Structure 1
């Protein structure tokens, strides 16, 4: 029965996000509320970046409507400080993000705002108070000191916010990853609160947050997803949206982990999963974040300075189309989430095998353009020069002078495929 209430929360959030995104899109174009295209951007036309306001408003309305449902209202009665903390912190980070989207704030100001946001959450009781250690025959739980709890919570929330913000470079990327990741958190909370090792309260704040966030991202995604080159995203979530989404994901993760004492060693293993789950689900953005920080520090730059060397940029440079690159991120996220969640309902080796097979498939798909482009290069190099010139494929030979003079030395996967097709047609007709 409780799934109906969560679905209602998702539905309300989705409808409000869709309507809010449409209104912001219209108003942004009417009053030209969009920035100039930056060098690192992959879009080619000015696009409004205030979608984060619609996402936050949708979550806010979902909280307001949800509080009217008697069963769900128990969440607000027993966790009112945390609810107010989530909404207050969300407002702060969205306002900071919107200010950055409009005026381009410096990195230190943004970082200070993120720490304040995490501090508000911790002040209102959203903290990791203890860590289950599933080792040995006896139950072992590490209880953190107040200072350690505060420091760890702020660090993790700021880390996830930045990791999510760092991958916000392709249409629909953050919204889709957030839907998959939040869905994994929701399923985890559902399973652990329904089984023998679960919680006694069927309605909890962590699941409510994930339900509201899933609905908000679903409602926003139609305006943010790129169908093709002729129909790119109409609206970006901007830093206000990416940081806000990251904050809500981090909050749900903290609420799921570190706040309940496991009753048995087997339950400790399940309770430990919320710590592993966000790391697994966010493995790509966290890896991108770590690589970006190391790359910029080695270059003597601020770790928060912008560049065009993120993982999604590299996928585009490898030859993936915009949509394919986004779907690859979705696939990696889904495989990581699915593999971890299988530990809840099956033997550990089942999750390990599924995750391993999924990672292998994702790796093959990710690297596929390299093999196709290599095949084109080999075919062009082995073809007679006159035939390559007639097929207009000389630019695909990196050893040819035409390649150095070409305006696009890094052809896309589709361009490489068309070049190989032209070459085969010329070979067949000659």
Structure 2
């Protein structure tokens, strides 16, 4: 009996979600016992100590679901062509362990950066998850094969940017997990479309990694959406950034660059570079603004502050939930635009009506709160709600 890969993708995605969902309460107990707890700070929006280590649950969900995928009839091919999944899992384990140490001991930024480089280097050099080709639409350059000398450092750099972009936006309950689910979902649709067009095999590594990420994030969100019972911590945000980068970087490794002769045909080579920018535009913009803001004030770019995009939404009068949903909408808008181009062969006119509709909805949601405007103090202050425990209602 032959099983279509799409059913196996659904199966491993649901498995990753179920395992993550079941492991998360255990990680909450463990976090409390070892003291991996996020105590309120001036820049935080929570007013009570919340356990961390949610990333360990997500790593367990991804790793166990990946083990099952290696035994499925169709998805076995994902392990024979493409990156070495064993090295990818090892890199994920390293960065998750680094995050656990930071969740417990709050490591300095240079130590964290060194660990990120180590994990990304292993994933790229040993795991083989590197950008293979880039299309240059100017002049007669055409498709460039990067090779190891250029592809390795470029992919490591993109991985570090993605890791830290997700880390920067992990400031509201459910925000990083939801944005990653949207991003990974967009990559899944895009990568699966490549297989339907014959650019890569249907059971491909980037498609599988994206499906696992979507499942892990959806399994974690019920515990993490406002009011959160557990934070993913750096063990989660850095893990998600690493695996999302692995999915996007490997989207071009299985395609034949000789098959692309026009700008339209080269979309499969261009979009792996554009989609991370599109689906992660919100965290990337937040990261860029934070670095510029801090450096201009003579501070370290890694110095924390309370002026991220989600902080500004709260200052406008949005509740935590509404601020998170607004950022979901903007992330989905940009992601759908990037992926939509691959389905319309680059014809933006076919995608613009959908984009315009989502923009209208997002702007209305933003304006409605501004018009309601002068909310009562009890509506605005609970952006920092007081709860004696995560299980009790907001006071």
Whether TM-score is above 0.5 comes out as yes
- Asked whether the 8 Å contact 2:132–2:253 carries over to 1, the reply is yes
Task: Evaluate the alpha carbon distance shift between residue 411 and residue 18 of structure 1 in structure 2; reply closer, same or farther with a 3 A threshold.
Answer: closer
Q: Name the SS for the 1:292 alignment partner.
A: helix
Deviation at 1:270, TM superposition (A): 3.2
1:55 aligns with 2:58: yes
For structure 2, the 5+ residue unaligned runs are 384-395
Map of 1:135-284 to 2, 5 A cutoff? 140-195=142-197, 198-226=198-226, 232-257=227-252, 260-262=255-257, 263-264=259-260, 265=262, 266-284=264-282
- Asked whether the 8 Å contact 1:71–1:203 carries over to 2, the reply is yes
- Asked whether the 8 Å contact 1:257–1:275 carries over to 2, the reply is no
- Alignment partner, residue 131 of structure 1: 134
For structure 1, the 5+ residue unaligned runs are 227-231, 377-392, 397-407, 416-430
- Give the stretch that moved more between structures: 183-192 or 255-264: 255-264
1:412 aligns with 2:380: yes
- Alignment partner, residue 96 of structure 2: 94
- Asked whether the 8 Å contact 1:160–1:247 carries over to 2, the reply is yes
Of 300, 308, 311, 1:310 maps to: 308
TM-score by length of 2: 0.89
Structure 1 vs Structure 2 CA RMSD: 2.3
Deviation at 1:34, TM superposition (A): 1.8
Deviation at 1:252, TM superposition (A): 0.6
- Alignment partner, residue 358 of structure 2: 358
- Asked whether the 8 Å contact 2:200–2:255 carries over to 1, the reply is no
TM-score by length of 1: 0.82
TM superposition outliers: structure 1 runs of 4+ over 6 Å: none
- Asked whether the 8 Å contact 1:180–1:334 carries over to 2, the reply is yes
Work out which structure has the larger RCO, using CA pairs closer than 8 Å and 6 or more positions apart in sequence.
2
Residue deviations 1:313-334 (CA, integer Å, cap 9, x gap): 1100110000000000110011
Deviation at 1:370, TM superposition (A): 3.1
- Alignment partner, residue 65 of structure 1: 68
Deviation at 1:129, TM superposition (A): 2.4
- Alignment partner, residue 329 of structure 2: 331
- Asked whether the 8 Å contact 2:24–2:57 carries over to 1, the reply is yes
| Count of matched residue pairs | 374
Residue deviations 1:132-169 (CA, integer Å, cap 9, x gap): 23467x89201225322122111100000000110000
d(CA) in 1 for partners of 2:360 and 2:164?
28
Residue deviations 1:104-150 (CA, integer Å, cap 9, x gap): 100111111111111111212111122023467x8920122532212
Q: Name the SS for the 1:72 alignment partner.
A: coil
d(CA) in 2 for partners of 1:28 and 1:94?
14
In our comparison, the structure showing a higher alpha carbon Rg is 1
Q: Name the SS for the 2:75 alignment partner.
A: helix
- Asked whether the 8 Å contact 1:206–1:251 carries over to 2, the reply is yes
